[in-house]
Amino acid sequence: MRPEHWMFTIPLRLRSLFRGAQANQELDDELRDHLVRKTQQYVGQGMTQEEAHLRARLDLGGIEQTKEDCRDARRVNWIQDFVQDLHVGLRMLRKSAGFTVVATVTLALGIGATTAIFSIVNAVLLSPLPFPEPDRLVRITFSEPGLGLRDVPFSVPELDDLRNRAGVFTDVSTIASNSVNLTGADHPERLEFLVTHSNYFSMLGATPQIGRLFGPQDFALGFAPVTVISDGLWRRAYGADRNVIGRTVRLDGDPYTIVGVLPPEFRHPGPTVSGNVEVFQTAGFSADPAPPPARSTRIMPSSIGRLKPGITVEQAQARLTAMATEICHDYPADYPAQDQWTIEIQPLQEALVGNVRPMLLVLLGAVILIVFIVSLNIANLLLARASGRQQEMAVRCALGATHSRMIRQMLTESMLLSVIGGAAGVLTAVGTIGFLLRLVPSNIPRLNEVRIDWVVLAFALAISVLTGLAFGLAPAFQSAKAALSSAIREGARGSGSSAKTGRLRDALIVSELAFAVVLMVAAGLLLRTLRGLLEENPGFNPTQVVAANLPLPEPNDPKADPYLSLAQETSFNRELLRRMRAIPGIELAAITSDLPTTNLRLKDAQAIGALSTEDSPIDSSLDLRAERIRISPDYFKVMQAPLLRGRFFAEGDEDGKQPVAIIDETTARKYWPTRDPLGRLVRFGQAPTLPPRMVVGIVRDIKNDGLDIAGVPHIYVPIYQSPDRDLSVVLRTSLPAKVLEPQIRHEIQSIDPGLPVFGISSMNDVLDRSLASRRFSADVVGGFAGLALLLASIGIYGLLAYMVGQRSREIGLRMALGARRWDVLKLILTKGAVLAGVGIAVGVIVSAATASMMASLLYGVHPHDPLVFLAVPLLLFAVAVLASYLPARRATKVDPIVALREA
């Protein structure tokens, strides 16, 4: 329609809408005028007054019908109808308050849970990274597939190649994340810090809250003496003092000048240990403390880059692949052909959230299943109500309501319900999202961006409307059809027209049960995984062990380093152990560089050092690698890890003595498959000048890298021979961690008051925390599965109870004709069992087809785990039969006399 046309029609529509009464009056007048004239005309033709009047009315073909047609011509009827339907709908909802409350609460729970989970999915997976042109940001990783290695570190010349030779990036910055001791504030703190190039912030497009961020002036070969701090640290340690700029802060003993504070919303878009980097430094990685740059000196763990405008990830990848081939060709000594060194890029967002995607998608799937089940349940309630309203519908139908008009009214009612439920759901989500976020494991990135924004609200609205349609359509069509067919015949008592409704209701229940099975199977698999991991033997006895972390600082300035020499650190370690053992209640104490299942230093290929053994020559085509863990002599005794052969370390295994090592079973199997490793020599790195270590013992495998990670080879070396700054103490004691905490901290800080001591907890808690994210998904999906079970049993109960009510006359008749209680019981129970059986069968088939999508979330449990696939159907079936028993028993209580008389 042209705008000019609207100029005429819009006022007309508005008039019809808001001056409806006047318009109706005028319509009356007009038609009355017509009747008067027509009558006069007929009288003029010789009819009597009455005859003429009747003829005139007949010509008009039913005055009310004509009026309705004229009103239809106004084209605003649907609005008026809608308002009217809304009134009727509200009245209906008020009238059946019980139903309304139940439906609204289930909807609020379903939509609320979905909205809350979606708000997390939206922030983490869907919304673009909060940086300008985020799709140009990529994570750059090097791999050596020939060695089975991903994420191998960078050297400075390789980074220069990315910048200058590749021609696809505007900026590349390394991102080296680690922890650092902050001293000088009221107590020493362990902070996560990030070393970048000076272009890091400008590449991301970040702006400071106060001060400035890094710029070209901060370029340094080594570390620039400046730092940028996070908003969180600024508030925590400096009370949000705006004069913090220019202040000096000591990080691992080195002084840095604070030049800027980041805004609260800034988060480093890369892997982090604690979820938030608090201190940023910039370095060139080409001078002290880094070794002189060389191609083979790979010291930078990973990088991110910004692609030039207009270059796609695919184009850039193609160019980088070609460049890697050129580089391998140019420097064959640094890139042995069999390593197959390659460069890979991945959109930064994918790289950041890739590992949590499966979990979040499973949660979203679970919560959407819950919405389905909720809708099906409400659809069933509505269907039951609709059968009760058949008479009303029949009357409406007889009075001239059209089929579509009645469907519209029923839909308006269910939509009203779903929108009310949706609004309650959004309120639920707003109210619970904070609570939910506290449960969410903190290793999920971007949680700080989670909020109920318009995208989330739009989603909630869409879900509400869809559920409204889903649970409203079936009853609407059904009742409209039923009304048309049965017209005013006899009313609700007739059982003939309910056969179709009955089938529809059966179908709804069956699909509800099927969805419940899918959810319960998913929950069963996750819970089995979690249970399996909780029961997993970690390779040591975590009970009655308390652990604490006390990382030593590593200053860049050797003069400021109190732990520079092995002798200095060894004397600290011995003093530390002496003091720990002196604490009352502590039986044994030991030091380790890697507390099992914790990952305090973002292990990467760097931590897993190359090694060679005398039994595998250096020129062997296979590069040997193992994770090196430094421990003090009593470590395995504290952990109660069994020694298989040889001996543990002793106090005498120190500097100047024969270097020794203990290996685990995996290492023994992997590198000495054919001979006894005891007494054999092993060397870290391939340089022949390094002193070889003698294998003196073999221990059982310990799950150092996580309960769900197996098969990593480990080599233990005495910390008195090979120092490490990342220290943890493990103490065997019957006292709880809480009691020991002040003493542990006091004793450690009386040796060095600048040492932060954190994470003092029982080893069992440490193991538990390592399963946080699995526990979260298992708990959430398990909770939903429980809800699904409840809703499904309510559904089947409601259906059968309704059926019993409808068929009480038939049941009474059967009993009058001699049916026994058991026959009646069987009649209803069979119905319930058949419904449950079909629903469960369908659910099992769907689960079996989809369970493999969850494979990445499972550990030690097959996606088609027979136990889960047996237990879930049995449980659901038992609950369904129980839910059918109640109405069945009521059926047997039907009094034949009463039932027959009532009819």
Partner 1 sequence: MSKPSDLVQGTLDMLLLKILALEPMNGFAVSQRLKQMSGDVLQVSDGSLYPALHKLEQEGWITAEWKTSEYGRRAKYYSLTRLGRRQLEKEADNWGRLSSAISRVIKLKEA
Which positions lie near partner 1, rule CB under 8 A?
Answer: 4-5, 8-9, 12-13, 16, 26-27, 29-31, 33-34, 36-38, 59-62, 65-66, 69-70, 72-75
> How does DSSP assign 614-673, residue by residue?
TTB-TT-SSPEEEEEEEE-TTHHHHHTPPEEEE----TT--TTS--EEEEEHHHHHHH-S
SS3 500: helix
**For partner 1, the closer CB: 67 or 769:** 67
What gap in Å lies between CA 410 and CA 472, rounded to an integer? 7
**For partner 1, the closer CB: 52 or 755:** 52
- State the nearest-atom distance from the C-beta of 33 to partner 1, in Å: 5
- State the nearest-atom distance from the C-beta of 11 to partner 1, in Å: 9
**For partner 1, the closer CB: 5 or 95:** 5
- State the nearest-atom distance from the C-beta of 395 to partner 1, in Å: 24
- State the nearest-atom distance from the C-beta of 14 to partner 1, in Å: 12
**For partner 1, the closer CB: 62 or 736:** 62
**For partner 1, the closer CB: 67 or 700:** 67
- State the nearest-atom distance from the C-beta of 84 to partner 1, in Å: 20
What gap in Å lies between CA 811 and CA 824, rounded to an integer? 7
Q: Show the DSSP H helices in 61-131 as ranges.
A: 63-73, 77-95, 97-121
- State the nearest-atom distance from the C-beta of 29 to partner 1, in Å: 6
φ, ψ of residue 777 in degrees (nearest 5): -65, -35
Burial class (CB in 10 A: 0-12, 13-18, 19+), 396: middle
- State the nearest-atom distance from the C-beta of 478 to partner 1, in Å: 28
What gap in Å lies between CA 671 and CA 663, rounded to an integer? 10
Geometric angle at alpha carbon 263, from 433 and 183, rounded to 5°? 100
- State the nearest-atom distance from the C-beta of 398 to partner 1, in Å: 19
Strands 608-613, 624-631: pairing kind = antiparallel
- State the nearest-atom distance from the C-beta of 43 to partner 1, in Å: 13
Q: Show the DSSP H helices in 440-562 as ranges.
A: 454-486, 498-535
What gap in Å lies between CA 449 and CA 265, rounded to an integer? 8
Name 120's Cβ contacts closer than 8 Å, sequence gap at least 6.
360, 363, 436, 437, 440, 444, 447, 450
**In this structure, what token pair is assigned to residue 126?**
């869907």
- State the nearest-atom distance from the C-beta of 73 to partner 1, in Å: 4
**For partner 1, the closer CB: 26 or 350:** 26
**For partner 1, the closer CB: 74 or 890:** 74
**For partner 1, the closer CB: 62 or 145:** 62
Burial class (CB in 10 A: 0-12, 13-18, 19+), 484: middle
- Give residue for tokens 């013992």: 697
- State the nearest-atom distance from the C-beta of 18 to partner 1, in Å: 15
**For partner 1, the closer CB: 60 or 455:** 60
SS3 506: helix
Burial class (CB in 10 A: 0-12, 13-18, 19+), 189: middle
- State the nearest-atom distance from the C-beta of 408 to partner 1, in Å: 18
φ, ψ of residue 139 in degrees (nearest 5): -95, 130
**For partner 1, the closer CB: 70 or 751:** 70
**For partner 1, the closer CB: 61 or 818:** 61
Geometric angle at alpha carbon 654, from 651 and 656, rounded to 5°? 145
φ, ψ of residue 133 in degrees (nearest 5): 40, 60
Minimal CA–CA distance to 516: which of 785, 753, 307, 766?
785
**For partner 1, the closer CB: 13 or 298:** 13
Burial class (CB in 10 A: 0-12, 13-18, 19+), 325: middle
**For partner 1, the closer CB: 14 or 439:** 14
DSSP state of 163: I
**In this structure, what token pair is assigned to residue 744?**
């542990």
- State the nearest-atom distance from the C-beta of 54 to partner 1, in Å: 14
What gap in Å lies between CA 338 and CA 330, rounded to an integer? 15
What gap in Å lies between CA 477 and CA 407, rounded to an integer? 6
- State the nearest-atom distance from the C-beta of 32 to partner 1, in Å: 9
**For partner 1, the closer CB: 61 or 617:** 61
Residue 686 φ/ψ region, left for φ over 0, alpha for ψ in the -120 to 50 degree band, beta for the rest: alpha
**For partner 1, the closer CB: 55 or 603:** 55
SS3 564: coil
- State the nearest-atom distance from the C-beta of 48 to partner 1, in Å: 20
